[in-house]
C-alpha cells in the first residue's frame, strides 16, 4: 500500500492548485510557510532572489503573516494539508532546489489542542515531503526541536545526547512525533542517499508569534503591557535559552545552503540560559509594567532546563546568534504594541 493511493489526489482537493513554474530563479518549497518561523523564512528567501512555494493549511499559521508577499511574483501560496500527498501541486519536482519542512504545531498549547494532527503531520506529512524530494532530488531541511531531548539530564544539550522523553506524557504528541520525523528523514538519507539536514531549534521568539499561542514570551509581553499578572508556572526556576528570530533564520539558511551539511544534525539556538522567573522580571521592567507575578502549577513534564550546545553549528556553519535578548525583546515588544498579534 502507498499512502499516496490511500489519500487521494491533491488536484481533486478544493484548495490545492497547480503552481506555475519559473525558469528564471531557483524554486524553494517551505511547508508551514505561513507560521511564525516559516513566514520570516519566506521573506528571507525572497529577499535572496529565490522563488518560494509556501504550503500551509493555516491550522496554527495565518494569512496575515504572508499577506505582504501575496502580490510578489516570486511567491506562491498553496493552501493545502501536507498529510495529503502534494507532489502534483509542484510543477515538476525536479524544478525544486530544496524543501524547508516546518509544518507542525509548535507551542505546547497548540500541540495539546492538536495532538493527533501534530503526530500525523510529523509522520505522514514528513513522508509526503520526503517523497516529493526523492522524486526530484531536492535537499530537505527538517525543522526538529530541542524537545527531542525531553526533560534533559545533561546540560548543555549536544546533538549526541539521546534525550529523556516520556513517550506517553502530555508532550509526547510533539516530542515523539519529531523523533519519528528525524528517524524517517535519516532513513531516507541512508536508503536513498537523499540530501537531508536536521536542525533542532531551541526556543525562538520575535514578531508574528500569535498572541494566543501560549508560549512564554508572547504571554509575558501581553500581560506586562496590559498590567495584568504575569503567569509564572511552577516557581519559575526552570530555564530556557531564547533566540531571536533573525538569528534563527540566518542559521536555517546556512544549514540548508552551506557545503558539508548533508546528513548532519545541528542545534540552532541561543546558549544564553535564564530562569523563567528572571525572564518575567526582565520583561516587566522593559515594559515599565505594574504587573504582579502569579505562580501557577508547573505543567506535567515541563523540562526543567534547556540550553543548546551550539559548537557544531559554529564549526559547520560559522553561525552563532548575534542579537541580544534585550534587542530582540525590544523589537518584539514594539510589534506587540502595534497590536498586530
As annotated, the active-site residues are 174
Q: Per-residue contact track with ligand NAD, 63 to 102, x per CB under 6 A?
A: ------------------xxx------------------x
DSSP assignments along 64-77, one per residue:
GGTGGGTT-TTEEE
Tell me how far apart the 2 most distant CA atoms of the chain are, in Å.
60
Question: Which member of 3, 161, 233, 257 binds ligand UDP (CB under 6 A)?
Answer: 233
Residue 141 binds ligand NAD (CB under 6 A): no
Residue 177 binds ligand UDP (CB under 6 A): no
From its phi and psi, is residue 208 left (phi > 0), alpha (psi between -120 and 50) or beta? left
CA distance 59 to 339: 22
Residue 203 binds ligand NAD (CB under 6 A): yes
Within 69-108, which residues bind ligand UDP (CB under 6 A)?
A: 107-108
CA distance 264 to 316: 9
Within 142-161, which residues bind ligand NAD (CB under 6 A)?
A: 143, 145
**Cα angle 28-37-289, degrees, rounded to a multiple of 5:** 160
Question: Which member of 16, 38, 150, 328 binds ligand NAD (CB under 6 A)?
Answer: 38
CA-based torsion, 57, 58, 61, 64: positive or negative: positive
Closest CA to 106 of 212, 213, 194: 213
Residue 219 binds ligand UDP (CB under 6 A): yes
Q: Per-residue contact track with ligand NAD, 261 to 300, x per CB under 6 A?
A: ----------------------------------------
Question: Out of ligand UDP, ligand NAD, none, which partner does residue 143 contact, by CB within 5 to 8 A per kind?
Answer: ligand NAD
Rounded to the nearest whole angstrom, what is the least distance from the CB of residue 281 to ligand UDP in the complex?
12
Grid coordinates given for 35: 507560521
Closest to ligand UDP by CB, 16 vs 308, is 308
CA distance 235 to 258: 42
- Choose the binding region for ligand NAD from 55-63, 148-156, 273-281, 290-298 (rule: CB under 6 A): 55-63
Q: How far is CA 244 from CA 5, 89, 155, 247, in A?
A: 41, 33, 21, 6
Residue 165 binds ligand UDP (CB under 6 A): no
How many CB atoms within 10 Å of residue 212?
13
CA distance 55 to 216: 27
DSSP reduced 3-state for 307: coil
CA distance 57 to 35: 10
Closest to ligand UDP by CB, 90 vs 224, is 224
Closest to ligand UDP by CB, 179 vs 189, is 179
φ, ψ of residue 118 in degrees (nearest 5): -65, -45
Residue 152 binds ligand UDP (CB under 6 A): no
Interface residue list for ligand NAD (CB under 6 A): 31-32, 34-38, 55-61, 81-83, 102-106, 110, 121, 125, 143, 145, 201, 203-204
User: For binding to ligand UDP (CB under 6 A), which residues are involved?
Assistant: 107-108, 203, 214-216, 219, 231-233, 238, 240, 276, 299, 302
Amino acid at each position: 500500500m502507498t499512502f499516496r493511493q490511500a489519500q487521494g489526489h491533491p488536484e481533486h482537493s478544493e484548495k490545492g492548485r497547480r503552481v506555475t513554474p519559473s525558469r528564471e530563479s531557483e524554486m524553494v518549497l517551505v511547508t508551514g510557510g505561513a507560521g511564525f518561523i516559516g513566514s520570516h523564512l519566506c521573506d528571507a528567501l525572497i529577499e535572496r532572489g529565490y522563488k518560494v512555494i509556501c504550503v500551509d493549511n493555516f491550522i496554527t499559521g495565518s494569512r496575515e503573516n504572508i499577506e505582504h508577499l501575496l502580490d510578489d511574483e516570486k511567491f506562491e501560496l498553496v493552501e493545502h494539508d501536507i498529510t495529503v500527498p502534494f507532489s502534483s501541486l509542484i510543477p515538476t519536482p525536479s524544478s525544486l532546489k530544496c524543501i524547508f519542512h516546518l509544518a507542525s504545531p509548535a507551542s505546547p498549547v497548540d500541540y495539546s489542542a492538536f495532538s493527533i494532527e501534530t503526530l500525523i503531520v510529523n509522520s505522514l506529512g514528513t513522508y509526503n515531503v520526503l517523497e516529493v524530494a526523492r522524486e526530484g532530488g531536492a535537499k530537505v531541511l527538517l525543522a526538529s526541536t530541542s524537545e527531542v531531548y525531553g526533560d534533559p539530564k545533561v546540560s548543555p544539550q549536544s546533538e549526541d545526547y539521546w534525550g529523556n522523553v516520556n513517550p506517553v506524557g502530555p508532550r509526547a504528541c510533539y516530542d515523539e512525533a519529531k523523533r519519528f520525523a528525524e528517524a524517517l528523514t535519516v532513513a531516507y538519507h541512508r536508503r536513498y542517499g537523499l540530501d537531508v539536514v536536521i536542525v533542532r531549534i531551541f526556543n525562538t521568539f520575535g514578531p508574528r508569534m500569535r498572541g494566543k499561542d501560549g508560549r512564554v514570551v508572547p504571554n509575558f509581553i501581553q500581560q506586562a503591557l496590559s498590567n495584568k499578572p504575569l503567569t509564572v508556572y511552577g516557581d519559575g526556576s526552570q530555564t530556557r535559552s531564547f533566540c531571536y528570530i533573525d538569528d534563527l533564520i540566518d542559521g536555517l539558511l546556512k544549514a540548508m545552503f552551506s557545503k558539508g551539511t548533508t546528513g548532519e544534525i545541528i542545534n540552532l539556538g541561543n546558549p544564553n540560559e535564564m530562569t523563567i522567573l528572571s525572564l518575567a522580571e526582565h520583561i516587566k521592567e522593559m515594559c515599565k509594567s505594574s504587573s504582579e507575578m502569579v505562580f501557577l502549577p508547573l505543567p506535567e513534564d515541563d523540562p526543567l532546563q534547556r540550553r543548546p550546545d551550539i559548537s557544531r553549528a559554529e564549526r559547520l556553519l560559522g553561525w552563532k546568534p548575534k542579537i541580544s535578548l534585550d534587542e530582540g525583546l525590544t523589537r518584539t515588544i514594539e510589534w506587540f504594541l502595534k497590536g498586530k498579534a
